Structure 1
C-alpha cells in the first residue's frame, strides 16, 4: 500500500539493481542521472494503469527535466505532436527505460511519460514567452530577447509562430475559456492517481471519483473552496447517497458522471494525466437487475460476472435445443398429415395447398428426407436458419 510522501525534501523510493535486489533510496529528481549502472527506480501502477507512489513523483520531475531540454525537444514546433516520433522514442530508450523499472506494460509506461513530457514541454514554452512578452514591443524586439538556454534559431521560429494571426486568435479564445473556469481546487501538483492510492492505504477502501472530487474541493476544515464548488460538491454527495451501485468503481454513470455530464474525449475528470474515456470506460456498462457488470480488473471479468454470463449462455443453448426439437416434431407431424390427405383424397385439396406451400425450409427439407427414408439429416442451410431464429 502507498501512504503519503515521507519527506518534502526528497523522494523515498525502491531501487532495484541488476541482480533483482531492492533497497530504499532517498533521491531528488536530478539524482536520477547519478544512479549506478543497473540501478532503476521502481514505479508502481494502479488498476487504472496510472503511476502511483513516490516513484511517480520522481518520474514526473525527471520528465520535466528532459522535456525542458531544447537539445532533446526543440521548442519551435507548433505543437508537441508535430515533433518527430524519433525524438521521444530516443529519449525514452536512452534516459527513461534505463533508469526506471515500471511495474506495468511498456505501452502504459510510454503513454504516461509521453503525456507528462507533452504537458511540461508546452508549459515551459508558455513560461518563456510570458516572461519576455510586452504588448508595446515589436516582434523583432521580442525575438532579440533570446532566453539563455534556448538556441536563437529555435526562439526566432517560436516567436514567429506566436505572432501569426491564427495563433493569436487561438490564444485569445483560450484566455476567454480560462476566465469561465470558476471552480478552483486544492489538489496542488499531486496527481489524483497518487491521492487515490494514499486514500486507499488510509481507509482500506478504494475511493471513487466522487470522493476524489470532494477531497480536492474542500479545505481541511471542511469548508468548500468557493460557492461554485460547494454547489457541485453537494450535488455529488446527494448522488452518491442515492446511488444503488458501487461508487468506488470508476464509471461514466457514477456520481461525477451524473452531475458533471459526459467527458470530453481527451480526459476523465478526477483521474489525472493520461486517462481517456475510450480506455477508462471501455468495460463499463449500465447495471441492470442483479447482474453486476462493473467488476472488471485489467480487462478480465470477475468470477461472479463470468458465472452469470455462463448461466445465461447455458440457458440460451438450452432454448435453442428445445426449439430444434419442436421444429423436428412439427415437420414430422406435417409430413404425416400430408401423407394422410393424399391417401384419402388422392391429391392435396386446393384449400389446403397453401398450408404445405408455406411450410418452413426446415419442414420442406424434412419432407424430402421422409420421402427418401432419412428423417435424421438436415442440411447446413437449415441449421443456420434455425440458429438465426
Structure 2
C-alpha cells in the first residue's frame, strides 16, 4: 500500500488492516465495473426528487404538521413538493412537464379522494403501475392495506351520520 493511501486513512477506521482492505476493494475491477453500471443507471433517471433521505412519507407528515388544514394535503401535493426545489422550481425540464400535467389534472377534478388509487393526478399521468405497489405512500403500502383504510374510513363516516 502506498504512503498516500495510508495518509488518507479516516479517523473512524479502527485498524490499518481494515483500511487496506477497504482501499483494495475500491480499486478492484469488480467494484469499478459495478460503480460504472450504477453511474449509468443514475444518469438515465429523469424524475429526480428533492426529499433526500427523508422520503415521501416523512415529507407528507411534515407538510401536514405545517398546514393549517392537514386533511387538505393530497398525494399530488406531496409528489409536487418532493420534486421541486426550495424556490418552487422543478428539478429539471422532464420533471417540470410531469408536474404541469399533474397540476392540470388536479385542477379539473373537484373532490379527489385522498384514499383513491386511481383518483389522483399521479395515477393519471403515470398510468398503470406494477401490481401490489402504491405510489407516494412510502415503503410497505399495498393496495389491500389502502382498501382496508378506505373501508374503515367509510364505516366511521357512516356511523357518525
TM-score bracket for the superposition, by shorter chain length: 0.5 to 0.7
TM-score by length of structure 1 reads 0.32
Verify: 1:302 aligned to 2:155, yes or no. Answer: no
Q: Over residues 328-387 of structure 1, what are the superposed CA-to-partner deviations in whole Å (9 max), with x where a residue is unaligned?
A: xxxxxxxxxxxxxxxxxxxxxxxxxxxxxxxxxxxxxxxxxxxxxxxxxxxxxxxxxxxx
Output one character per residue of 1:83-120: Cα deviation in whole Å (capped at 9) or x when no partner.
xxxxxxxxxxxxxxxxxxxxxxxxxxxxxxxxxxxxxx
**1:221-264 deviation line (CA, Å, top 9, x unaligned):** 65434322210101222343455884422737743244335369
Q: Secondary structure at the match of 2:60?
A: helix
Q: Does 1:283 align with 2:149?
A: no
Q: Name stretches of at least 5 consecutive residues in structure 1 with no aligned partner.
A: 1-139, 286-293, 307-389
Check 1:217–1:152 CA distance in 2 against 1; reply closer, same or farther (3 A cut): same
**Higher strand fraction: Structure 1 or Structure 2?**
1
Structure 1 residue matching 2:73: 3-state secondary structure: coil
5+ unaligned residues in a row in structure 2: which ranges? 157-161
Out of 135, 148, 162, the residue aligned to residue 11 of structure 2 is 148
* 2:77 equivalent in structure 1: 211
Cα distance change of structure 1 residues 194 and 283 upon mapping to structure 2, 3 Å threshold: same
Q: CA RMSD in A?
A: 3.8
Count of aligned positions: 150
Question: Of Structure 1 and Structure 2, which has the larger fraction of its residues in helix?
Answer: 2
Tell me which of the two structures has the higher relative contact order, counting C-alpha pairs closer than 8 angstroms and 6 or more residues apart: 2
TM-score in terms of structure 2 length:
0.65
CA contact (8 A) 1:252 1:284 kept: no
Deviations 1:161-191 (A, max 9, x none): 3233222211001111222234444435544
Tell me, yes or no, if the aligned pair for 2:59 and 2:82 is still in contact at 8 Å. no
**Match status 1:232 vs 2:98:** yes
Give the whole-Å Cα distance in 1 for the aligned partners of 2:34 and 2:131: 19
Q: Is the 8 A contact 1:210 1:247 kept in 2?
A: no
